[in-house]
């Protein structure tokens, strides 16, 4: 029996877990109910459980034999501040919060792998099941690292996974080297002088300055980043004023910057500060910039990328594994863990449907056995039975 077929024996239970998590989503670093369910399931399968790692993180530890190697498998648990638009029996019951990125599915994949490995014991070494809180831009990976994740649970290699809408269920894709961009969030506060809207000459208009800054920021990538590098700088929010006839005292621009190289991210930050402060000063206003690195660039280890792709190929055939998937401008804070321990990150098909971070996104439960099987099989391949037993 294949691992995928073995895991399908748990399909009803895993689907029930996933849909329960979907119905009760929790925002980053507040996943108390989710963490309790994860811990309860792991303990019930005889896995050593460590709660409260990095706040609401959970780590399960499973040892078998005397093998010295340790593999880390990681899934994220948090939801997003989005109002769900799906009409589902298990739609979100938490106002303004939904699992719009499939972290409920990733958590379930890892639970499925944990149950399978605890049941079959077909490996020799130690597996750390890392259930991470707060992936969606609130610092969950760093919180676990600051809490001594790899000092307390050493890993020789780590593996992660994400679902991919638009890719058929049962297919995988992986990117060698730079796979996902680093990401920063920024806020630019423009301060001027408020006045009556009928008397703009008495003001220093921060709205006008903010509009000019937003336009000028488009030159940062176009005129400061080499064409051979890839970068994005997007203003995504403009907030100013409360009344039709009042020129406000201040205005705020917010947005995100993305790049595959740390040095390019520095170029974006320097250019953003220079343009914002310079344009504001030219219009008589001032600009204060808060630029925060939220995600490191994600780089897949070459050897582990091949291991992961070969494992996926063993499960579904090489024709269903894209070994040279194009890099993505999205970001993933698993990258901070991969800066400490070599690792690889792969995507698996979620079938047709809305893209992540969309109010109509819905994780496909048929994808769960494929994610769980890949997690489990990479452990078996990296720590085979018979070594040092």
- State how far Cα 225 lies from the chain centre: 25
The answer, yes or no, to whether residue 345 has pLDDT greater than 90, is yes
Residues 66-90: b if buried by 16+ CB within 10 A, e if exposed: ebebbbbbbbbbbbbebebeeeeeb
Q: End of a domain among 232, 264, 295?
A: 295
Which residues make Cβ contacts (< 8 Å) with residue 44, sequence separation at least 6?
none
Q: Could you give the CA distance from residue 322 to residue 64 in angstroms, rounded to a whole number?
A: 32
Q: Could you give the CA distance from residue 152 to residue 266 in angstroms, rounded to a whole number?
A: 33
* Shared domain check, 311 and 280: no
* Shared domain check, 85 and 46: yes
Residue 100's SS3 state is coil
Q: Could you give the CA distance from residue 17 to residue 40 in angstroms, rounded to a whole number?
A: 12
pLDDT, residue 387, reads 57
Tell me the average pLDDT across 184-212: 98
205 in a structural domain = yes
CATH of the domain at 245: 3.30.70.360
Residues 138-160: b if buried by 16+ CB within 10 A, e if exposed: bbbbbbbbeeebbeebebbbbbb
The CA–CA distances, whole Å, from 128 to 33, 60, 62, 124 equal: 21, 6, 7, 13
389 in a structural domain = no
Q: Could you give the CA distance from residue 7 to residue 179 in angstroms, rounded to a whole number?
A: 29
Mean of pLDDT over the chain: 97
- Domain of residue 186 covers 182-295
* Shared domain check, 281 and 205: yes
* Shared domain check, 280 and 160: no
Quote the number of domains for the chain: 2
The count of other CB atoms within 10 Å of the CB of residue 326 is: 9
95 in a structural domain = yes
Q: Could you give the CA distance from residue 330 to residue 62 in angstroms, rounded to a whole number?
A: 32
Q: End of a domain among 295, 318, 351?
A: 295
pLDDT in tens, 209-254: 999 999 999 999 999 999 999 999 999 999 999 999 999 999 999 9
* Shared domain check, 141 and 114: yes
133 in a structural domain = yes
* Shared domain check, 157 and 125: yes
42 in a structural domain = yes
* Shared domain check, 146 and 39: yes
387 in a structural domain = no
* Shared domain check, 151 and 220: no
CATH of the domain at 361: 3.40.630.10
Question: Predicted confidence band at 60 (pLDDT cuts at 50, 70, 90)?
Answer: very high
Residue 164's SS3 state is strand
* Shared domain check, 110 and 28: yes
Burial (Cβ within 10 Å: 0-12, 13-18, ≥19) of residue 63: middle
Q: What backbone torsions phi and psi does residue 172 show, to the nearest 5 degrees? A: -135, 160
Tell me the average pLDDT across 277-292: 98
The answer, yes or no, to whether residue 388 has pLDDT greater than 80, is no
CA atoms within 13 A on the CB side of 79: 33
Question: Predicted confidence band at 352 (pLDDT cuts at 50, 70, 90)?
Answer: very high
The answer, yes or no, to whether residue 167 has pLDDT greater than 80, is yes
Burial (Cβ within 10 Å: 0-12, 13-18, ≥19) of residue 53: buried
pLDDT, residue 389, reads 55
Only one residue has tokens 């990117």, namely 175
Tell me the average pLDDT across 70-75: 99
Tell me the average pLDDT across 19-36: 98
Q: End of a domain among 246, 262, 295?
A: 295
pLDDT, residue 386, reads 78
Only one residue has tokens 């990296």, namely 382
The secondary structure of residue 96, as a DSSP letter, is T
* Shared domain check, 160 and 236: no
388 in a structural domain = no
Nearest to 161 by CA among 343, 324, 342: 343
259 in a structural domain = yes
Alpha helices, DSSP H, located in the chain? 3-8, 11-23, 32-44, 103-120, 140-146, 149-152, 206-216, 218-224, 262-282, 302-316, 334-338, 368-382
Which residues make Cβ contacts (< 8 Å) with residue 133, sequence separation at least 6?
28, 29, 30, 31, 35, 54, 55, 56, 57, 76, 77, 78, 140, 143, 144
Look up residue 14 and give its two tokens.
């895993």
* Shared domain check, 42 and 165: yes
* Shared domain check, 57 and 137: yes
């Amino acid at each position: 029996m294949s691992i995928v077929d073995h895991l399908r024996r748990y399909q009803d239970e895993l689907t029930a877990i996933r849909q329960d998590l979907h119905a009760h989503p929790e925002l980053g670093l507040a996943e108390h109910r989710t963490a309790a369910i994860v811990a309860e399931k792991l303990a019930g399968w005889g896995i050593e459980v460590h709660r409260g790692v990095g706040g609401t993180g959970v780590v399960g530890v499973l040892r078998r034999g005397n093998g010295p190697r340790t593999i880390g498998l990681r899934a994220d648990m948090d939801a997003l501040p989005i109002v769900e638009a799906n009409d589902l029996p298990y739609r979100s019951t938490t106002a303004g919060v939904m699992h719009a990125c499939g972290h409920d599915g990733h958590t379930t994949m890892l639970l499925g792998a944990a149950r399978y490995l605890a049941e079959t014991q077909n490996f020799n070494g130690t597996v750390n099941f890392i259930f991470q809180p707060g992936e969606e831009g609130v610092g969950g990976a760093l919180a676990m690292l600051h809490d001594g994740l790899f000092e307390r649970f050493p890993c020789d290699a780590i593996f992660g996974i994400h679902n991919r809408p638009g890719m058929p269920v049962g297919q995988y894709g992986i990117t060698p080297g730079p796979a996902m961009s680093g990401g920063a969030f920024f806020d630019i506060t423009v301060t001027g002088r408020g006045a009556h809207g009928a008397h703009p000459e008495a003001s220093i208009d921060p709205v006008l300055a903010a509009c000019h800054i937003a336009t000028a920021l488009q030159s940062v990538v176009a005129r400061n980043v080499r064409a051979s590098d890839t970068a994005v700088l997007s203003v995504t929010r403009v907030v100013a004023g409360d009344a039709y006839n009042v020129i406000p005292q201040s205005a705020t621009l917010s947005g995100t910057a993305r790049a595959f190289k740390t040095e390019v991210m520095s170029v974006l930050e320097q250019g953003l500060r220079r343009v914002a402060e310079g344009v504001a000063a030219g219009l008589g206003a001032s600009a204060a910039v808060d630029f925060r690195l939220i995600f490191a660039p994600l780089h897949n280890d070459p050897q582990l990328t091949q291991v992961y792709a070969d494992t996926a190929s063993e499960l579904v055939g090489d024709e269903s594994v894209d070994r040279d998937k194009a890099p993505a401008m999205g970001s993933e804070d698993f990258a901070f863990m991969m800066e400490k321990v070599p690792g690889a990150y792969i995507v698996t098909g979620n079938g047709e449907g809305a893209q992540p971070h969309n109010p109509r996104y819905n994780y496909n439960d048929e994808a769960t056995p494929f994610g769980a099987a890949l997690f489990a099989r990479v452990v078996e391949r990296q720590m085979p039975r018979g070594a040092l037993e």
